[in-house]
Amino acid sequence: QSPFHFHMDRQSSPETLVDVLVSILQANDWQETSLVLCHPWDVDSFLDLWAQRSQLFLRTVLDLGYLDEPRATRYLQQHGDRVRSLSSPVLLLGCDLHRARLVFQAAEELGLPLQELHWVLGFPLSPSELQTEGLPPGLLAFGEVRRPLLELFVQDVVGLVSQAIAQAAQSLPDPTQLQTTGSCNERHRAGSESPGLFLARFLANTSFHGQTGLVHVENTALVRPEQQFRIWSLRRDSQGVPTWMTAGTWSHGKLELEEVVWQSQRQHKSPGEAAEGARTRLRVVTLVEHPFVFTREVDEEGNCPAGQLCLDPGTNDSAVLDALFEKIGSGNGSVPQEYKKCCYGYCIDLLEKLAEDMAFDFELYIVGDGKYGAWKNGRWTGLVGDLLSGTAHMAVTSFSINSARSKVIDFTSPFFSTSLGILVRTKDTASPIGAFMWPLHWTMWVGIFVALHMTALFLTLYEWKSPYGMTP
């Protein structure tokens, strides 16, 4: 390899990709991962690179790098036992979205619950390539952003060479010692450094901040610009639509996280992870509805002799709830007493039994707006809104199922069914002989009878006494 040859590369090196992926996995406190390899890399070389730059353990390795789409599909079908052995998290290294869908489809056909596994797409994507169709919620992806223009990169490389020459000239005490002529037949003196190698050494060890950021030389011949990656998480927005949300940014070898999205990502645990390590902690939202959920005040010490401690802060702000539950978990007594309630009832008993059977812990709070959830002003309110925004993982209450809610959230089988009935009085088939008198009260009928007879008597007397009457 010539020391005077420099190669400009704006693509991500395997070392950089490994560093980004390791940062993502470590941010989730994962200690091992399953690997599906889609890029035609040498598996042994990659495993050596992974071992050099990471302490994470790689489990099942599926190598699809040298297979086209039909052969990859047959391979996944024929090696169903290896696909079933995949456990969370699963790293799809070098897999674009099209190849990743093949893996998702094969896993789903083999009965693997996609939503219960953590999937990490280890192939850099541009923001325009992000799609949502056919992808499981919770999928993590990353891609390079702010890629520098080629013209600016060339200018920075020229500046890098100029700065290296300037540093070489400053370090040489006597510029006249440089050899200005040479011969192909002349042998170089042992122990001395030629001017070309002297300059190449400075070029290989020079870096500076240019228009594209930090420009440096790797392996004495490869010039790379500064790279910045963005991490995305596939979540559901307040409208229930799958959307890519920014979960963090990687630059200068460090990962900076968006706490709201990342906390929601980390709190999504699969049952397998709960069985292997600590119990999963879920945040559960409820709504007071008798006789399913009741509330009473806590005792003087802020505890619940019966029922479960729940918070009623009157908000659905995830940051506020995180702070309150953190204070409760640490034994800090600074949580306002009016926020603490004791929740009990039929649904709370179901929640306790479910937590016992599924081996998870939970944090319980009452929905802020006191509503079940409806589509208003372009967003979901109430319990549905808290579930879609990631504020809560589960809702437990007398939650009625309708078509609009079923499109955006999943319901369990009904545990209580109700129905409405209308009672109508039937008509009598036979009417009595005095039925014609029903429209009027009996006193009215007496008045009519007396008035008729009095009128008849008056007319009889008038005709009898009248000289012009019809009587004899």
Percentage above 90 pLDDT, the chain: 4
Band (pLDDT 50/70/90 cuts) for residue 275 is very low
Confidence at residue 305, expressed as pLDDT on a 0 to 100 scale: 78
Is 444 a residue whose pLDDT tops 90? yes
pLDDT at 11: 67
CB neighbours of residue 43 within 10 Å: 12
Q: What is the pLDDT of residue 64?
A: 82
Q: Exposed, middle or buried by CB within 10 Å (0-12, 13-18, 19+), for 190? A: exposed
Distance in angstroms (rounded) separating the CA atoms of residues 130 and 123: 12
Residues contacting residue 183 through CB under 8 Å, at least 6 positions apart: none
The mean predicted confidence, pLDDT, of the chain is 77
What is the Cα Rg of the chain in Å? 40
Whether 190 shows a pLDDT value over 70: the answer reads no
| Helix axes 14-27 and 43-53, enclosed angle (nearest 10) | 60
pLDDT, tens digit (0-9, with 9 covering 90-100), for 200-238: 666 666 666 766 666 666 655 556 667 788 888 888 765
Concatenated DSSP letters of 286-330: E--BTTTBEEEE--TTS--SSSEEEE--S---HHHHHHHHHHHHT
Quick: pLDDT tens for 276-328.
Answer: 445 678 889 999 888 889 988 888 777 787 788 888 888 888 788 888 888 88
Share of the chain above pLDDT 70, in %: 75
- pLDDT given for residue 238 in this prediction: 59
> What one-character-per-residue DSSP string does 239-300 give?
TS-EEEEEEEEEETTEEEE-HHHHHHHHT---HHHHHHSSPEEEEEEE--BTTTBEEEE--T
> What are the CA-CA distances from residue 407 to residues 282, 375, 450, 462 (Å)?
23, 12, 74, 88
Residue 403 has pLDDT above 90, yes or no: no
Residue 270 has pLDDT above 50, yes or no: no
pTM given for the model: 0.49
For range 7-25, the mean pLDDT: 77
Residue 176, pLDDT score: 47
Per-residue model confidence (pLDDT) at position 134: 80
Sorted by sequence, the CB contacts under 8 Å of residue 214 that are 6+ apart come out as 207, 208, 225, 226
| Greater model confidence, 208 or 436 | 436
Q: What is the pLDDT of residues 321-371, one digit of tens each?
A: 888 888 887 766 678 888 888 999 889 888 888 888 888 888 899 988 888
Q: Which domains does the chain have, with CATH numbers?
A: 7-146+228-264 (3.40.50.2300), 148-175+196-225 (no CATH), 279-406 (3.40.190.10)
Q: Check pLDDT > 70 for residue 466.
A: yes
Strands 254-257 and 340-344: unpaired
